[in-house]
Structure 1
């Protein structure tokens, strides 16, 4: 399995690997789906270790976002380096996803939304 997860209260943190590419997309979707089945939870995708994301991975993130949104939950992206952030900006996806500088900032955003 390429994706590690952590739980923090009602939030699932998915650690994105260094290279998030087409060959890891199915594993990513499986991890998210399994986490969604257990309870209503918000999600953070932690890109702290990631330096490469391809178009298949972007498509998977959008698909997962749609699934999570249907459950009235939130998907936040955190810790994007300049290269990954530029990719999201070039594809205009920063308009869809909340993007936070750090994992702590993402957790704080979700805590504020819950209050």
Structure 2
């Protein structure tokens, strides 16, 4: 069975949010379905998208697990963003949390160092 995932992130200001997510993800959107949405493909059939929905902005919680945790954080820092929080769980899994201009939480997780 093929599965596509679209994880939505409600935002107030399309332009500000799109610029921030380009900075975080290191690429422009993969496609623009309309004037109020932008979509980034993280991996085959796995997408995150922003959508102007001011009444819901700031409530998204997403964690993206990556194989290249340290390299990913270095690349994001080189683009000018730093995590607002970092966590290491008892099992050694690490997480770096970023907050977009609306306060939505986008975390990157990685295996123990």
TM-score (ref. length: structure 2): 0.32
Q: Pick the structure with more strand per residue.
A: 2
Q: Whose helix proportion is higher, 1 or 2?
A: 1
Greater relative contact order, per chain length (Cα 8 Å cut-off, separation 6+): 2
Q: Which has the larger radius of gyration?
A: 2
